[in-house]
Amino acid sequence: MAPLKSWLQINAKSHFSLHNIPFGIISTPDTPEPHAAVAIGEYALDLQVFSQQNGFSALSIIQPHQKVFSEPTLNAFAALGRPIHRVVREYLQSVFLDNGPFPDVLEKNEQLRKAALLPLKDCKMHLPMFIHDYTDFYAGLNHAYNVGVLFRGPQNALQPNYKHLPVGYHGRASSVVVSSTPIRRPNGQILTNLAAEKKEPVFSECKKLDIELELGCFVCKPSQLGEPVRIEDAPEHLFGVVLLNDWSARDIQAWEYVPLGPFNAKNFGTTISAWVVLMDALEPFANAGMANDTELLPYLDEKDRKSNYAIDLSVSLTTSSGKTTNIGKTSAKNLLFSFPQMLAHHTIGGCPFNVGDLLGSGTISGESKNEKGCLLEQTDNGKTEITLEGGEKRKFLENGDTVTLTGVCGSEEGALVGFGDCVGRIDPAVQLSF
C-alpha cells in the first residue's frame, strides 16, 4: 500500500512512520511521573495529556479505560487486549493522517499539540512494562549451531533436543533495563586455564564481555497455573516486540553453567529498546521463519500461520574515541521458533503467565561472517579479531564501548516500522575489596 502521509512533518526514513505507532513510557520535566506515550516521527504523543484533554473523545471504546495512560507502565493498557490495542492504534493513525477524519482532535488544535506533542529528545524513557518473569529462548539456529561448532565440533553442534522444542532458560527480570542504562562489567569466577586437570578459577573482572542481538516480546494476556496456552490462541497473548541485548560474560558462563545453565553470566544486565512495536504494526512483515526439518508435536504446530517477522537488524559499536563501526547485520527471519511457539512450549506443563512477562528470542545470526549476532561467533571465541573504523581491534567489549542495536521492517520510505535504538555503554567493573 502507498505510505500513509501525516500532516505532521515526518522524515521519510523515520522508523516511527505512521505505519508504526509504538508505545512507551516517558517522563518530562513538566510531568515527572512516568506515563504512556506513542512515538511518531521525532515526537512523542503524551497519552496522559492527550487523554486528559479529551483527545480520545471520538473513540468511545477507550473512554472507560483512559486511566491506563497515566499508569507508570503499559501493563494495564496491554491487559485491555489485542482488539483494544488495534483500535487505539488505528485511531491514533487516523488522528495523524493527512486529510484524516479527525482534524479537530490534534491537527487543528494548537493548544493540545503544544501540550501533548513533545520532541523525543525532551523525553526520558523508562522500562515500558513491569516484568514479572523474563525467559530467554535460544531459537536462533545459526547462533546455536555456530556456538556448538566452537565447543563441540560440527557433528555435535546442535543438541538432540534443539529442533524438537524451543530450548530456553529463565532470565533475571530484575536485571532488565531500558536502553541507555550503563552496564557495569561484572566481576566473577573465571577459569583461565580450561585444560588444567585441577580446576582453579580466579576471581576477576569479566574479560570476555559480549553482546547478544535478540528480539523481546511482551505478553498481554495472563494464563493460569495448570492451563497451557493453545498454539492457535497464543498470538492474542502477545502485545508487542522490542530489541533486546542479552549482555553476556562468556568466561563467567563457561565455569558456572554446568549443570544448571547460565546465571551470573547474564544477570548483571539485559537491555531492551524503549518503544514497544505492537504486533499489528509487524503484521505486514510476517513470514514463516526458518524451516524445521523435524516434525513438531501438535502443541507446537502452527501449520501455515506466519509468526516470524522480516526485521532487518543491525549492530554497531562506538568506541570511547567516538568512532562507530557496523559490526553485524542480519534478519529476524533467522529464528527456528516463533514467539507463539515459545509461549505454547513455556505453558505446556502449566506454568502461569502474567501481563508484562518478557520472552527473549535468543541470539539471531545469519549464515555468513558479517551476520553474527554476538562477538563469540564473530571472533571464534576470541581466536580472531574484528577491526573497527580507525583501526582499533576487538575480540570482546572494552570499557567505554557503546553497542547499539537497531531494527526496522520494510524498505519503503515513509512506511518504515522500526524499534528505535537499544543502547548500552560498558562501564568499568566495580573495584571490590574484601
Binding site for other proteins (CB under 8 A): 132-133, 135, 138, 159-161, 164-165, 167-175, 177, 181, 184, 186-189, 199, 201, 203, 206, 225-228, 230, 232, 249, 252, 255-265, 267-269, 297-299, 345-346, 348-354, 357, 427, 430, 432, 434
What is the DSSP secondary structure assignment for residue 358, as one 8-state letter?
E
User: Which runs of E-coded beta strand occur in 223-364?
Assistant: 238-245, 248-249, 270-272, 277-278, 286-287, 308-309, 311-318, 324-331, 358-360
Any catalytic annotation for residue 143? yes
What is the DSSP secondary structure assignment for residue 89, as one 8-state letter?
H
By beta-carbon proximity to other proteins, the closer residue of 347 and 378 is: 347
Retrieve residue 392's grid coordinates. Answer: 582499533
Smallest distance from other proteins to CB 432, Å:
7
Smallest distance from other proteins to CB 137, Å:
9
Smallest distance from other proteins to CB 266, Å:
9
Instruction: Tell me whether strands 324-331 and 134-137 are parallel, antiparallel or unpaired.
Output: unpaired
Smallest distance from other proteins to CB 402, Å:
17
By beta-carbon proximity to other proteins, the closer residue of 172 and 306 is: 172
Catalytic residue among 19, 35, 143, 237: 143
Burial of 13-36, coded b for 16+ CB within 10 Å and e otherwise, reads ebbbbbbbbbbbbbbbeebeebbb
Alpha-carbon gap, residue 394 to 354, rounded angstroms: 40
Q: Does residue 259 have a cis peptide bond before it, meaning omega lies within 30 degrees of 0?
A: yes
Alpha-carbon gap, residue 26 to 70, rounded angstroms: 10
Residue with cell 545469519: 366
Retrieve residue 383's grid coordinates. Answer: 581466536
By beta-carbon proximity to other proteins, the closer residue of 2 and 432 is: 432
Cα 107–chain centre separation: 32
185 membership: H or E segment, kind and range: none
Retrieve residue 255's grid coordinates. Answer: 565455569
25 membership: H or E segment, kind and range: strand 23-27
Smallest distance from other proteins to CB 298, Å:
5
By beta-carbon proximity to other proteins, the closer residue of 269 and 366 is: 269
By beta-carbon proximity to other proteins, the closer residue of 69 and 134 is: 134
Smallest distance from other proteins to CB 60, Å:
33
By beta-carbon proximity to other proteins, the closer residue of 34 and 168 is: 168
What is Dmax (Cα atoms) for the chain? Answer: 76
Q: What are phi and psi of 255, to 5 degrees?
A: -85, -35
Neighbours of 184 (CB within 10 A): 15
Query: Which residue intervals of 238-373 are DSSP H helices?
Result: 250-256, 279-282, 339-347
Smallest distance from other proteins to CB 57, Å:
36
By beta-carbon proximity to other proteins, the closer residue of 1 and 258 is: 258
Alpha-carbon gap, residue 16 to 8, rounded angstroms: 12
Alpha-carbon gap, residue 335 to 333, rounded angstroms: 6
Report how far apart, in Å, the C-alpha atoms of 23 and of each of 118, 148, 207, 259 are.
14, 37, 37, 39
Smallest distance from other proteins to CB 232, Å:
8
By beta-carbon proximity to other proteins, the closer residue of 119 and 182 is: 182
210 membership: H or E segment, kind and range: strand 209-210
The residues annotated with a catalytic role in the active site are 143
